[in-house]
Structure 1
């Protein structure tokens, strides 16, 4: 190469993590059928406590996500299988130098299957850019309890998310097609998060979705819980409960924890407590 040739621009190393997880049934109950994992994602399988279904603990060994990183996550439950998936800690999305962090999640539930998708909160650093897409497909009689929480900045350090962008998309499909679709788009977080008719200065937001015949009763149950953070619960359609909370990060987390414990006990036939990974 000639000495006067311009140096090639440096390229940052990007994470490309993935996992595929499948559960089936046997005379022993729910069993692991398939497992594929690609760094930095790892799945661990702690012994479930009495009354709990098989639990998968999702770990990001990189310690967080940077701009340009990509994750692909897939969970499949055969008919009648039951499982819980949690993360071992909050996920962190760091300030980006340009590209977005991309997260794609697909959940597939066979007839009569029951899945809890309960990752802990995602913390968006100031300047973070994230595109996250979730798609869940439910066969007849399947039940899904899913919750996601976003924290807009490092609340414990007094940081607010003022720059960056977020696109967070949900799609839920049943045997007859699309049941629910929703998307959050932030491209000017300083203004949108502060807007009195937007997020009203909230530090965090949580979304809880329950697909089950008991959805209406669970809406009424949530309304009886002590108010931890401003929130509301509604039924977009029969058999589907949507709850959301906005407010301080600690208060939103408490509200989400209380709702998960109450719903898994009343609608899923599980112990009315948080999964162990949420408390250790």
Structure 2
């Protein structure tokens, strides 16, 4: 008697290739009658730009990811230039989300920024939230003229605490490079993989913190902000003056809500203006 072999159809079926999102943006500003105005813009795919009603002379641009997040295989690129004597502020409509990725697939986000003579560049996206089993490779490269200034803020959230999310498995490669006149003045790299929650729980690493922010401020008045900021920070944050015009702040917090309580006053102080309106919506 022959007994037929029962095969699990799902085991024999290869994982289908999922559709992937792609998007690219380029934007630049120029000076006109003491105002910063749009010089050039190009957008493609799942990346869009909006320009809110201005409250001052700066040009503010809001990046929107119409795909709703980043997953393995997605590709996003942004290029922005603050032209001479302009102020360009870049933020995002909402927090970015790095979702679960299929095995062997990594989402890539590449941001390339620059600022010309006597320009001011503010890069202040809202948080990037990492979900369990995400895989994200992100690069931020900033090139400044010798007379340009910059305020850069990047925030990572390691799962939403209020939702009980835990990063039992995730991959993150995150790099920030700031150059002045072609010379690197700030290099930072973060690589997390595997059981991220257990790694962050180590008292010598993050002591269980669920959110991390890095703020880089490069301007002639950087030194004047050092002591006031140091006095305002709690035990999970620190500030260092890496050069006469380079201030770096690193802050940890239990969750993103607590971290914002630290970040918003800092960004207001360093920018001399309220945080971009999408932060408050």
Q: Same fold (TM over 0.5)?
A: yes
What does residue 208 of structure 2 align with?
Answer: 201
CA deviation after TM superposition for structure 1 residue 237, in Å: 2.1
What does residue 64 of structure 1 align with?
Answer: 69
Per the alignment, do residues 9 and 164 of structure 1 end up closer, same or farther by CA in structure 2, a change over 3 Å counting? closer
CA contact 2:217–2:248 (8 Å) conserved in 1 = yes
What does residue 117 of structure 1 align with?
Answer: 123
Distance in 1, matches of 2:252 and 2:48, equals 31
What does residue 44 of structure 2 align with?
Answer: 38
SS of residue in 2 equivalent to 1:185: strand
- Structure 1, unaligned stretches of length 5 or more? 1-5, 266-270
TM-score (norm 2): 0.90
Distance in 2, matches of 1:38 and 1:151, equals 27
Distance in 2, matches of 1:122 and 1:8, equals 31
SS of residue in 1 equivalent to 2:117: coil
Per the alignment, do residues 196 and 9 of structure 1 end up closer, same or farther by CA in structure 2, a change over 3 Å counting? closer
What does residue 80 of structure 2 align with?
Answer: 75
Tell me whether 1:219 sits opposite 2:232 in the alignment: no
CA contact 1:111–1:139 (8 Å) conserved in 2 = yes
Per the alignment, do residues 226 and 171 of structure 1 end up closer, same or farther by CA in structure 2, a change over 3 Å counting? closer
Which of 258, 264, 280 aligns to 2:265? It is: 258
CA deviation after TM superposition for structure 1 residue 45, in Å: 0.5
Distance in 1, matches of 2:81 and 2:226, equals 27
Per the alignment, do residues 252 and 36 of structure 1 end up closer, same or farther by CA in structure 2, a change over 3 Å counting? same
TM-score (norm 1): 0.91
What does residue 275 of structure 1 align with?
Answer: 276
C-alpha RMSD over aligned residues: 1.7
What does residue 3 of structure 1 align with?
Answer: none
Tell me whether 1:191 sits opposite 2:192 in the alignment: no
Of the two, which has the highest radius of gyration? 2
CA deviation after TM superposition for structure 1 residue 17, in Å: 0.8
Runs of 4+ aligned structure 1 residues displaced above 6 Å come to none
What does residue 26 of structure 1 align with?
Answer: 32
Structure 1 segment 157-168 matched on structure 2, within 5 A: 157-168=163-174
What does residue 85 of structure 1 align with?
Answer: 90
Once the two structures are superposed, residues 224-266 of structure 1 have per-residue CA deviations (whole angstroms, 9 ceiling, x without a partner) of 3364x7200001222111101112112112111121011112x
